Amino acid sequence: MAETALIKKLLIANRGEIAVRVIRAARELGGIQTVAVYSDADREALHVRYADEAYGIGQPAPRESYLNIEKLLEVAQRSGADAVHPGYGFLSERAEFAEAVLDAGLIWIGPPPDAIRQMGDKLAARAIMQAAGVPVVPGTEPGLDDAALLRAAPSIGFPLMVKAAAGGGGKGMRVVREPAELEAAIAAARREAESAFGDGTLYLEKLIEGAHHIEFQILADTHGNTIHLGERECSIQRRHQKLFEEAPSPFMDPELRERMGAAAVAAARAVGYVNAGTIEFLVDAEKNYYFLEMNTRLQVEHPVTELVTGVDLVKEQIRIARGRRMGPVDGVTIKGHAVECRINAEDPYNNFLPSVGTVTVHIAPTGPGVRLDSGIYAGYEVTPYYDPMLAKLIAWGETRGEALLRVRRALNEYKIMGLKTNLPFHQKLVDMTRFLTGKYDTSFLERYMTMRPEEEEEGALAEVAAIVATLVEHQARQRALGFANGDTAQKAPSPWKWAARRW
């Protein structure tokens, strides 16, 4: 690829808020045209409305649409796209997709296929990390059959983790505390991995209890520059799914940050990494750290790093893919603190059961230090086919305390109606003293937090009271302005309704 390869039109092989995020970055880079793809379920999605062009790619099931390499490349050819950004999830960590894009003569906005392949192979990744001097969690090699996994478990010791070799996001993972639980856990993890990733390969790994999940953001360009942009704390998890992230971590100290950052850079260089990626670690209470995995893509939680560094990671991805030097060649300075809440269509009072339906009201929070990355709007239909994440609410402050106060305020302003969301979960989390003092690890939710059904009723009553109070105040203001009942001024069409019709 030429050093300054030109991108005139970019296809985003994804959906939802990350597709919107990439569209915005492309436009800010000087008017790069964007091409969206959509399944039948996403015909009215926000990313479809924002893109310059949009093409249908089939039925709602991911295998028929967003996981269909042939259809995606066909759209790239029809639209005249020069490049492909995979977002995260779906095909973003599939080496065969990256190769297909490159073989089609397009620019791949991601790492080299060989790096994806090596880091996607857990056995190869462990060997590479050990050779690079990065500690790894004790475990088995991937690819063993059920009988071999059962035989290997005693040598690792309990508790342990059954983990899928492909993909991520907590899918295909099970905690096993007793030998009697192992066989059923292997069967369940294999089924889930096959469904989510089309690959049921498993391995076992020692469970590091009371650990912190710390990850380092990596950037590397084709000119030999590899840096890290600090760490993110990702320990607030439910069933290995991240719900809240922050940067920097309240658990880290400067000496540990320096050692882990150097290890992350060494890990990236060991595989000839280019573009944005993340090295994930588990850190125990004594601050011993272990390589967990490398995510060879953009992370969901990348905004917190952007806010504390001032680096637009998506723009840097595109610049690097063009063959240009990345902007922060000499490293970055961390300024302030940022936190992120993943807003999901889930019922926190009913075991986080996924929720579907039409968003009837969407009032986004604004104000100093608040950012919302969203893929929804009033009238948007949430379907059961995809990940339940609707949006990401991010807040920045000069200090961790200020960032938490801002996100607390923003959570109270945020209104999504028409379906259940986990907004009440986040509101409760940021009110917990133990969390506010930074004393948490990956076991925090299991040990300290429950969502009681009666809290939902209390919250609903408070919401009704607030609405009634607002209406009473509005009526009083109307009377003070001379608008009595029956005035023609009151009957004027609402500009909000006009805006909704225009959508």
pLDDT of 492 reads 36
What pLDDT sits at residue 462?
58
The catalytic position among 126, 190, 297, 319 is 297
One-letter amino acid of 123? L
* Helix, strand, coil shares, percent, the chain, to 5: 40, 25, 40
Q: 348: helix, coil or strand?
A: coil
φ, ψ dihedrals at 493, nearest 5°: -60, 140
Q: pLDDT at residue 444 above 60? A: yes
User: Which contacts qualify for 383-386: CB closer than 8 Å, 24 or more apart?
Assistant: 383/41, 383/60, 383/356, 384/354, 384/356, 385/39, 385/41, 385/60, 385/61, 385/62, 386/15, 386/16, 386/41, 386/62
- On the CB side of 331, how many CA atoms lie within 13 Å of its CA? 7
pTM greater than 0.85 (yes/no): no
- In one-letter notation, the amino acid at residue 207 is L
Q: Report pLDDT digits (tens) over 53-106.
A: 999 999 999 999 999 999 999 999 999 999 999 999 999 999 999 999 999 999
Q: Give pLDDT tens digits for 268-293.
A: 999 999 999 999 999 999 999 999 99
What's the mean pLDDT in 45-56?
98
d(CA 324, CA 219): 13
Residue-level pLDDT at 124: 86
Is 49 a known active-site residue? Answer: no
Nearest-angstrom CA–CA distance, 427 and 413: 11
- 496 or 293: which leads in pLDDT: 293
pLDDT digits (tens, 9 = 90+) for 395-430: 999 999 999 999 999 999 999 999 999 999 999 999
Judging by beta carbons within 10 Å of its beta carbon (0-12, 13-18, 19+), is residue 155 exposed, middle or buried? exposed
pLDDT recorded at residue 503: 31
User: Angle 88-93-96 (CA atoms, 0-180°, nearest 5)?
Assistant: 135
Residue 371, Ramachandran bin (φ over 0: left; ψ between -120 and 50: alpha; else beta): beta
Supply the pLDDT for residue 454: 76
Q: Per-residue pLDDT tens for 362-393?
A: 999 999 999 999 999 999 999 999 999 999 99
Rounded Cα distance, 443 and 423, in Å = 21
By three-state DSSP, how is residue 456 classified? helix
Whether the predicted pLDDT of 24 surpasses 80: yes
Asked if 273 and 220 touch (Cβ cutoff 8 Å), the reply is: yes
The pLDDT value given to residue 461: 59
pLDDT for the residue 265: 97
Total residue length of the chain: 503
The DSSP symbol for 140 reads P
pLDDT at 474 over 70: no
Q: How confident is the model at residue 123 (pLDDT cuts 50, 70, 90)?
A: confident
What whole-number distance in Å separates Cα of residue 111 and Cα of residue 452? 44
CA distance 396 to 47: 25
Residue that is written with structure tokens 């960590």 in the block: 93
Residue 198 has what pLDDT? 85
Share of the chain above pLDDT 70, in %: 90
Taking only the tens place, the pLDDT of each residue in 199-221 is 899 999 998 888 999 999 999 99
